Amino acid sequence: MKKQRNKGTVGRKESAGRAHGSAERETGIRSSSKRSKNRSTGNLRGARKQQAREIAGLPVSKNDEVVIDIIGMNHDGEGVGRADGYTLFVAGALPGEKALVKVLKTKKQYGYAKLLELREVSPDRVAAPCSIYDKCGGCQLQHLSYAGQLAWKRQHVIDALERIGKLRVAETGDAGAVLGGDGASEGAGAGTGTGAVVSEAVRGGNGVSGDRAAEVSAGTGVVKVAANDSSGVTTVGFGGYELEGEGLVAAVEPSAHNGIVVLPTLGMAEPWRYRNKAQVPVGVTDGALVGGFYARGSHRIVDMETCLIQHESTDDVVARVKAIGRKLGITAYNEESGQGLLRHVVVKVGFRTGEVMLVLVTNGQDIPHVEAWIGLIREQLPQVVSICQNINTKQTNVIFGDETRVLWGRDVIYDYIGDVQFAISARSFYQVNPVQTEVLYSKTVEYAGLTGRETVIDAYCGIGTISLFLAQHAERVYGVEIVKEAIDDARSNAELNGMRHVTFEVGASEEVIPRWKEQGIEADVIVVDPPRKGCDPRLLETILEMKPERVVYVSCNPSTLARDLRILEDGGYRTVEVQPVDMFPHTTHIENVALLVRK
């Protein structure tokens, strides 16, 4: 009887089971009509799903659970798999893995799925050290070994150059390997870092069992997968890197026959705690003031106790500001109502100097108990040398408003990139990873080929970081930037460093640079560092008209880099080399610097 009763309540709500349980216990009979009805309902539901698939012309529909092989990663760091030829993007899945996934959303040519269980695990999978990694949207790749991240980023650049720019990339040997050790500490045994279940069949060992859609080199933990497929989705695994000493070095030597040399990504010896700026949104959870980061794909705030990619000082400052705010009864801004005072807590840190700036972004002019707040911050956070308030009363997602005032201390903090000192204000742009910024700028100087006699033009110069770095090795440097406040900072930084051979001008590069040419200024080298959208077409035309011997292109977007390199190549330049630099470990972002010379 007990067996019959349990079968009878499967798939029904617990309350319904209790309501009908006594009757079933009395009769000891499970109604055959109910059983038939449940079967009919299930059959009808299945038929409807099948009909929906047929109407849509897709092999899967929403809520289907399917097992797929992950053959690559897209530019958002999502695993790419196929169900009967239909592409599914799966957050948290890695190339070479076999995964049980649940379809969340379908479109005509692709869909999205949730990772439920790993049947086969990549040897390059690691346990994400961050406790809120699966909730916070700040990092996307903590579940991938750092060597794997660097190799994927290089391949992402290659893929963009080939597919978007239609550019030939030089062969560099076997760059499709996954180097993840034996998998015991970094692979399957370390966990998935995604919240997905790992099948018992693949725990331990080297994280590989059963048939693979990839070739596994026995005893090495190296997995090789196909390079590209017709869809344009990158399906190369991770390779080209080995751990050696304090950092990462290339495991393959690039050799250019015909094509652009894309060098192995320059990574960090210690890829944690690298950010010098945090912009922490503030909200209310269970009646308490909280501050952290937005959950993936939403504006729901995940409270943060620590962030492993932020400087250690940031954790302390944010925690104490939240505690002081709660103590003083400070209200948090509500996006929907537009009410509440504190919107963001912004922290800037000088890596070399140790100086800290705190900026309170408020929805109004007045801060209650402001003197008490300043006093407590000064008492508890002696490293803070500047406390500022930025007023933003607009109902917008933009963090800063137009007005900034100093509540206490200085209006700037100082830091260095190499030997160049910079003053950093509340609103000024400054590279967030100063360690890798020096690596990037050193490569820029190398590509510029400076001997001390050259004239250099720096388009999109910002606050003059690249300009002043180049000025150490050039005869004259001219920087142009459309944002007036940035040029003000650039001029101040030039004066701070005693560099009188640097000129900065406000304006659009495509308008200012031709005017300089008319004034007789001829550039030996032009350096561009545009925003993500890439160079303005008129600037590219200007470069082609000026015909500098070298162009050095610094880019934060491989897609627009590839597009612009194609235009410059068609206009008489040859792209010699591209150097990816990992400015943002554990995220999908990649910085590049490219060298072009006249053909």
The string of DSSP codes covering 357-368 is EEEEEESSS--T
- Residue ranges of the alpha helices (H) in 477-580? 484-496, 509-518, 537-546, 558-570
What's the CA dihedral at 425, 428, 434, 439 to 10 degrees?
Answer: -140
Task: Examine the residue annotation and report whether 535 is marked as an active-site residue of this protein.
Answer: no
DSSP state of 233: -
CA 360, CA 105: separation in Å to the nearest integer?
39
Question: In the block, which residue shows the tokens 């001997």?
Answer: 451
* Three-state SS letters, 372-415: HHHHHHHHHCCCEEEEEEEECCCCCCCCCCCEEEEEEECCEEEE
Q: How deeply is 266 buried, as exposed, middle or buried, from its count of CB atoms within 10 A (0-12, 13-18, 19+)?
A: buried
Active-site annotation holder among 130, 388, 535, 556: 556
Neighbours of 301 (CB within 10 A): 21
142 in a labelled binding site: no
Check residue 132 and report its DSSP letter.
Answer: T
Backbone φ/ψ region at 364: left (φ over 0), alpha (ψ -120 to 50), beta: left
Burial class (CB in 10 A: 0-12, 13-18, 19+), 318: buried
What is the pairing mode between strands 455-459 and 476-481?
Answer: parallel
Would you call 222 helix, strand, or coil by DSSP? strand
Which whole-number Å values give the CA distances from 277 to 16, 135, 357, 490, in the listed order? 54, 21, 9, 19
Surface-to-core class of residue 481, CB atoms within 10 Å of its CB (0-12 exposed, 13-18 middle, 19+ buried): buried
441 is in an annotated binding site: no
Structure tokens at 213: 């859609």
Which secondary-structure segment (H or E) carries 503?
Answer: strand 502-506
What is the length of the chain?
599
Residues 510, 426: Cα–Cα separation, whole Å: 29
Residue 388, number of CB atoms within 10 A of its CB: 23
460 is known to lie in a ligand binding site: yes
**H/E element holding 157?**
helix 146-163
Would you say 485 is a known binding-site residue?
no
Name the binding residues for S-adenosyl-L-methionine.
Answer: 431, 460, 481, 529
Catalytic residues: 556
